[in-house]
Chain A
């Protein structure tokens, strides 16, 4: 398992295009928003938590097809499937690698981009915490979507259509944590619910992803 994780991380970093791309996309989205809604500071600081969350979500979505599609094309997925590692383990590792290469950089970049959007000071820690808790769920759900559409030629758009509705609960609770943090309200309830979604998804969804992947490899 560790070997697979290392391999995926290496590929993501060395093969180019994967690692920095999500981060750059996040940056672009954040830069475009003020052009769209105007540069007023008070308006920006009100919508900043939500923008950061939506930006992170879209950046995650953009990189999903890399989780499995490349391995599917060159046949290494078939090799992995015949390896002694259970399919559930493979998809979990794939999701973990995706989170490390996409989710974690987003979490770390969020405070920097928060400055651009004049995020209120008390909100910084909550944006980071909510993203840190929520992005693993995004990666795991996304792996499910990637597994569903892996065999398709032009699966990208279809995958967005399938994955985005599944992202709704995570987005609602994550953005709620960030918003309440920004307004200085108590964040305990949405934060616990967000963590509940993350843990529940990590525990259960790999089984569905593995089942789907087995069907696709049949």
Chain B
């Protein structure tokens, strides 16, 4: 019994079929609990008023926007090294989810920034690097769509993912150098004195767990879809030959 057994598409679909309802349920539970708790049962911030509640969507989606790319990186590496098709398809499946998370983070950030900073958008390092991350997602998805041969597409996109990761990190530090920002620094670290207050922290934690579970569920589902779509195409091709 090893992890690599799930590289078998049949095994992968069978297992995820069993797991998916649980993940969906847990994700829904966490999201409903976290959001309801956050929106209705936490006090307003003494300075930010009720806008502080945007945090329950903004922070988890930003978290998943970055981690989705990380997951794609790992899946791409697995594809390059061990050539498991499920891995390549999982990377492909994660990209649109990650891109949407990036958009959500940017949009909620804009809604939050308007009342707090007096502007929808500022060329702040964090905002800018998120925009660049979004461009990377776009390029990655466009390359998948553009190439017809599945294996070639998987190879090229995984190398793009590797190179893109390096450049995304480079850009992150470059924009830091380029402009000082409005965005606050980390306030969710575990080891710092001055953190977000516990009242906001616990519902936020539940929301983050909900977003992680939601992401897992979506990626599983989309990977299944990709596997089935590819199987259908293979069947159709065989019919055409016969």
- Decide: B167 and A166 in contact? CB cutoff 8 A: yes
Q: Does A176 contact B (CB under 8 A)?
A: yes
Which of the candidate stretches B42-50, B57-65, B151-159 sits at the interface with the other chain? B151-159
Q: Considering only CB atoms, which chain B residue lies closest to A179 in the complex? A: B178
- Decide: B142 and A161 in contact? CB cutoff 8 A: yes
Most buried by B among A155, A169, A197, A212: A169
- Decide: A148 and B171 in contact? CB cutoff 8 A: no
Q: Does B135 contact A (CB under 8 A)?
A: yes
Mask, A125-158, CB within 8 Å of B = 1, is 0000000000000000000100011011001001
Q: Does A211 contact B (CB under 8 A)?
A: yes
Q: Does A54 contact B (CB under 8 A)?
A: no
Q: Does A81 contact B (CB under 8 A)?
A: no
Chain A interface SS verdict (over half): helix
CB distance from B96 to the nearest CB of A (A): 16
Could you tell me the distance between the alpha carbons of A205 and B139 in the complex, rounded to whole angstroms? 18
Mask, B110-142, CB within 8 Å of A = 1, is 000000000000000000000010011011001
Q: Does B20 contact A (CB under 8 A)?
A: no
- Decide: B164 and A166 in contact? CB cutoff 8 A: yes
CB distance from A213 to the nearest CB of B (A): 10
- Decide: B171 and A215 in contact? CB cutoff 8 A: no
Q: Does A104 contact B (CB under 8 A)?
A: no
- Decide: B143 and A197 in contact? CB cutoff 8 A: no
Q: Does B55 contact A (CB under 8 A)?
A: no
- Decide: B177 and A162 in contact? CB cutoff 8 A: no
Q: Does A14 contact B (CB under 8 A)?
A: no
Q: Considering only CB atoms, which chain B residue lies closest to A154 in the complex? A: B146
Given contacts A193-B177, A212-B156, contact A165 B171 (CB under 8 A): yes
Docked complex: A14-68 residues within 8 A CB-CB of B? none
Could you tell me the distance between the alpha carbons of A177 and B146 in the complex, rounded to whole angstroms? 37
- Decide: A168 and B132 in contact? CB cutoff 8 A: yes
- Decide: B132 and A173 in contact? CB cutoff 8 A: no
- Decide: A169 and B171 in contact? CB cutoff 8 A: yes
- Decide: A205 and B171 in contact? CB cutoff 8 A: no
Q: Does A208 contact B (CB under 8 A)?
A: yes
CB distance from A186 to the nearest CB of B (A): 14
Q: B178 to chain A: which residues have CB within 8 Å?
A: 172, 176
Could you tell me the distance between the alpha carbons of A148 and B142 in the complex, rounded to whole angstroms? 12
Could you tell me the distance between the alpha carbons of A103 and B173 in the complex, rounded to whole angstroms? 26
- Decide: B146 and A155 in contact? CB cutoff 8 A: yes
Q: Does B174 contact A (CB under 8 A)?
A: yes
CB distance from B196 to the nearest CB of A (A): 31
Which of these, B147, B159, B160, B174, contacts A173 with CB under 8 Å?
A: B174
- Decide: B147 and A152 in contact? CB cutoff 8 A: yes
- Decide: B146 and A211 in contact? CB cutoff 8 A: no
Q: A212 to chain B: which residues have CB within 8 Å?
A: 155-156, 159
- Decide: A166 and B177 in contact? CB cutoff 8 A: no
Q: Does B229 contact A (CB under 8 A)?
A: no
Q: Does B77 contact A (CB under 8 A)?
A: no
Q: Does A111 contact B (CB under 8 A)?
A: no
Q: A162 to chain B: which residues have CB within 8 Å?
A: 139, 142-143, 160
Q: Does B162 contact A (CB under 8 A)?
A: yes
Given contacts A165-B135, A190-B177, contact A208 B164 (CB under 8 A): no
Q: Does A2 contact B (CB under 8 A)?
A: no
Q: A113 to chain B: which residues have CB within 8 Å?
A: none
Q: A148 to chain B: which residues have CB within 8 Å?
A: 143, 156, 159-160
Q: Does A216 contact B (CB under 8 A)?
A: yes
Q: Does A187 contact B (CB under 8 A)?
A: no
What are the nearest 6 A-B pairs in CB distance? A169-B174, A172-B174, A169-B170, A165-B135, A162-B139, A215-B155
**5 more CB-based (< 8 A) A-B contacts, given A161-B138, A172-B177, A218-B152:** A148-B156, A152-B146, A165-B136, A166-B163, A172-B174
Q: Please, could you name 20 A-B residue pairs with CB atoms under 8 Å apart, sorted by A? A: A148-B156, A148-B159, A151-B152, A152-B146, A158-B142, A158-B143, A161-B139, A161-B142, A162-B160, A165-B132, A165-B135, A166-B164, A168-B132, A168-B174, A168-B175, A172-B175, A172-B178, A193-B174, A212-B155, A216-B156
Listed in ascending order, the chain B residues whose CB lies under 8 Å from chain A are: 132, 135-136, 138-139, 142-143, 146-147, 152, 155-156, 159-160, 162-164, 167, 170-171, 173-175, 177-178
